Amino acid sequence: MLTSLPEDALVYVLSFLEPPDILPLCSTCKRLYELGNLRIVWTNASQFHVIARGYPFPSIDISSYDVRDLRRKTLSAYSLAHRWLAGLSSPRRKSYISGTSGTSVSHVRFLPGHGDRFLLTIAKSIWSAVAIWDLSSKESRKVGEWSPRGAIFNGFALNEDPDGGAELAISVHLNGEASVRLLSLDEGIDGPCTFREIYTVSTTMRPLKLVGYLLALSDETSQTAVWNWRNGTYAILENSIEDVPVGQSAYNECIQVLFAHRSILVVRARSVHLFPYPTLKPYYPDDPHPTPYTPIAHHSFGWVDGMCVNVCPYLDRGTTTVSSWSPLSILVRGESDDPWTSDVLNLELYTIDPNADYPSDDGDLDTHIPPYLFPPRLVNQVRSLRGSLRCTQVFLGRFGTAAWIQPQERFYAGLLADVPQQMQVDRRGRTPHESLMMAVFPGSLSTAEGEVVARRVFVNEANNWTSFDYDEVRGRVALGSSFGVITLLEL
């Protein structure tokens, strides 16, 4: 009989079972039930059947979970991955938060850490306010708020390290002065959460990325600062603005900052620059600023509506490049000022491959040799629609899934109502409303080859989405609206 085997042999046998098959087997008798509560059983299940297959799973040490959490996350990751592989097309559940009704939600983000319970929103009526919502109960409830009277917020970054000392860096304009404030979230016991200001610096730069004690801030043209707020060291990265055509504005909003392999990628609205990883130096008020670092590689996609860069180790890029570090992936939604162009738009997926000529050791490095090859290489694309949007964000997850908002079709909206019928595109299967679109690129979550197909996951008949966030690992989406209602989707 199976139960007559020694424990080590039983653990080995269970390691061959798919995670959902472990539970029924372990419910058949007391000995197997006790075996199903061993950490090694779920460590094997997560390692062999989830992580090794490139299924979405939190990128933290699994030893930090207790057995119950490890079992829950393993089963959840396995289930989510198989919904993608089967052709995910609609959410399993949806719910709404209406606590900010009547106030436009400019930003909505899932807050890292805290048991994945919290959602952060930024809304503005007379002045701006940050709110924290607890999603763990059936009815989501507001548990914290921070709103200096008269303040306007124009940028923020959430700490990707939940133990980094500050959950939030936020740009505040108050009484004619600009500053960036670092806030810690103190969680009450079954009660409200409170924001505590732990550091303030006067600057007009906006925070873009916060990892532990390292904060990246940027202006709207050419400069990015990398600052360790704990010890006060910093460096300046600066790209050239000399190539701006005569008569055009030098405005070049920073969209994203990525800490890459021995380098920093700064993504702006019309340019992408790769900088060597800088040496951070102390700030002395009486000394001049250090010499800025200049780019070692750059590229332009032209003006873009939205762009997202990520390290996606499980994508199939059709390349034989071998390196000790992963390529960078960029999802780009281009912008067009011509209202008469085709309403079909391609979101394009590019890859930036590792540079085989870059030194692999930690010795003295030639900072003029980029660790990645430029220009980016087009590897795939997915069709969407052009149109006017309040929310132009695009998301590309580490495991190769993408999410974006598709505008309501312009024909339905009336922009091209006078165009002859024979010149209009076939609208079968289209919707007159904006939609949440998702796609999965070839890799660990897709067995399909060839054209990537976008899937309409959810339709917004009010056409009023202003912001959204996508949590690929946990399979959830939050959508903010101009009416203050937040839609939560579980995939």
What is the share, in percent, of the chain residues with pLDDT greater than 90?
55
**Lowest-confidence region among 82-96, 305-319, 325-339, 424-438:** 424-438
| CATH code for the domain in which residue 26 is found | 1.20.1280
Q: Is the pLDDT of residue 89 over 80?
A: yes
What is the mean pLDDT of the segment spanning 249-258? 87
- Whether 180 is in a domain gets the answer no
Quickly state the pLDDT bin for 131 (edges 50, 70, 90): very high
Q: Which is higher by pLDDT, 165 or 487? A: 487
What confidence score (pLDDT) does residue 329 get?
96
CA dist 436 and 434 (Å) reads 7
Query: At 263, which helix (H) or strand (E)?
Result: strand 263-268
Separation of first and last alpha carbons in the chain:
40
Contact yes or no for 456/436 (Cβ under 8 A): yes
Give me the residues paired with residue 156 across strands: 170
Domain for residue 328, yes or no?
yes
* Angstrom distance (rounded) from CA 210 to CA 222: 19
Kindly tell me if the per-residue pLDDT of 352 is higher than 60.
Answer: yes
H or E stretch including 79?
helix 67-85
Specify whether the CB–CB gap between 132 and 138 falls below 8 A.
no
Average the pLDDT over each of 17-31, 142-156, 243-257 and give the range with the smallest value: 243-257
Q: Is the pLDDT of residue 441 over 80?
A: yes
The reply to whether 242 falls in a domain is no
CB 334 within 8 A of CB 301: yes
Residue 75 token pair: 């089963």
Q: At 34, which amino acid appears?
A: E
Count the domains in the chain.
2
Which residue type does 474 have? R
Q: Looking at 206-210, 313-317, 417-421, 460-464, which range is the least confident one?
A: 417-421
Across the chain, mean pLDDT equals: 86
Q: Print the SS3 string covering the chain.
A: CHHHCCHHHHHHHHCCCCHHHHHHHHCCCHHHHHHCCCHHHHHHHHHHHHHCCCCCCCCCCHHHCCHHHHHHHHHHHHHHHHHHHCCCCCCCEEEEECCCCCCEEEEEEECCCHHHCEEEEEEECCCEEEEEEECCCCCCEEEEEECCCCCEEEEEEEECCCCCCCCEEEEEEECCEEEEEEEEEECCCCCCCEEEEEEEEECCCEEEEEECCEEEEECCCCEEEEEECCCCEEEEEECCCCCCCCCCCCCCCEEEEEEECCEEEEEECCCEEEEECCCCEECCCCCCCCCCECCCEEECCCCEEEEEEECCCCECCCCCCCCCCCCEEEEEEECCCCCCCCCEEEEEEEEECECCCCCCCCCCCCCCCCCECCCCEEEEEEEEECCCCCCCCEEECCCCEEEEEECCCHHHHCCCCCCCHHHCCCCCCCCCCEEEEEEECCECCECCCCCECCEEEEEECCCCEEEEEEECCCCEEEEEECCCCEEEEEC
Residue 396 or residue 250, greater confidence: 396
More confident residue, 48 or 425: 48
Q: Pick from 68, 85, 102: which residue ends a domain? A: 85
Could you tell me if 154 and 142 are in contact, meaning their C-beta atoms sit under 8 angstroms apart? no
Q: What is the pLDDT of residue 447?
A: 74
Average pLDDT over residues 57-64: 84
Q: How many residues does the chain have?
A: 491
What's residue 296's pLDDT? 94
For the record, the structure tokens of 402 come out as 């993408």
| pLDDT band (50, 70, 90) for residue 425 | very low
Assigned domain for 376 exists: yes
* Residue % of the chain over a pLDDT of 70: 88
Which of residues 18, 52, 85 is at a domain's end? 85
Tell which wins on pLDDT, 55 or 1: 55
In Å, how far are 49, 56, 316, 360, 433 from 313, measured between CA atoms?
A: 17, 12, 9, 19, 34
Residue 421: the pLDDT is 42
139 is a domain residue: no
Listed residue (294, 318, 299) closest to 309, CA to CA: 299
pLDDT tens per residue, range 468-479: 999 999 999 999
**Residue 368 confidence class, pLDDT cut points 50, 70, 90:** confident
Judge whether 228 lies within some domain: no
In a domain, 429, yes or no: yes
Domain boundaries, position 438: 306-460
pLDDT tens column, 188-208: 776 788 999 999 999 999 999
Q: How far, in whole angstroms, is CA 125 from its chain's centroid?
A: 27
Q: Is residue 435 part of a domain?
A: yes
Boundary (domain end) residue, out of 85, 115, 133: 85
Check: CB of residue 94 under 8 Å from CB of residue 139: no
Decide if 131 contacts 119 (C-beta within 8 A): no
